[in-house]
């Protein structure tokens, strides 16, 4: 089982890394994993764990950061759009999901 930091790197690369598949579930899992990080201190701990992957020299970290910048920062970017697609049948506001995904991306990047 991976910790939250490596999991986020993995999910971001699964979505938009060099061989990314751009599946809606991968985009949604980035947001969900950060917001649902219960056992390790909440969303703040998830953000710190993600950033620690860069400090630790995780070779997949630069591609994950590039994916965040390219695909997640704006509500009309591919990541937020696809995340909202994944849960469209279960939420009353896809726009809120898109906003939440973009906000999580900003926190992960420290923007």
> Pick the residue with more confidence: 52 or 19?
52
**How crowded is residue 67: how many other Cβ atoms within 10 Å of its Cβ?**
26
Residue 41: predicted pLDDT:
81
Residue 37 pLDDT: 82
Overall average pLDDT of the 5-22 stretch: 94
Q: Give the rounded distance of the alpha carbon of 83 from its chain centre.
A: 10
- Please write the tens of the pLDDT for every residue from 23-81: 999 999 999 999 988 666 889 999 999 999 999 999 999 999 999 999 999 999 999 99
């Amino acid at each position: 089982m991976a910790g939250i930091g490596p999991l986020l790197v993995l999910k971001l690369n699964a979505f938009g890394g060099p061989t990314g598949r751009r599946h809606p579930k991968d985009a949604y899992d980035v947001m969900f994993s950060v917001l649902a990080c219960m056992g390790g201190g909440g969303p703040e701990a998830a953000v710190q764990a993600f950033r620690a992957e860069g400090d630790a020299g995780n070779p997949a970290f630069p591609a994950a950061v590039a994916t965040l910048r390219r695909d997640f920062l704006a509500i009309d970017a591919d990541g937020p759009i696809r995340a909202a697609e994944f849960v469209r049948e279960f939420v009353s506001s896809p726009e809120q999901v898109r906003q939440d995904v973009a906000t999580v991306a900003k926190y992960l990047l420290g923007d």
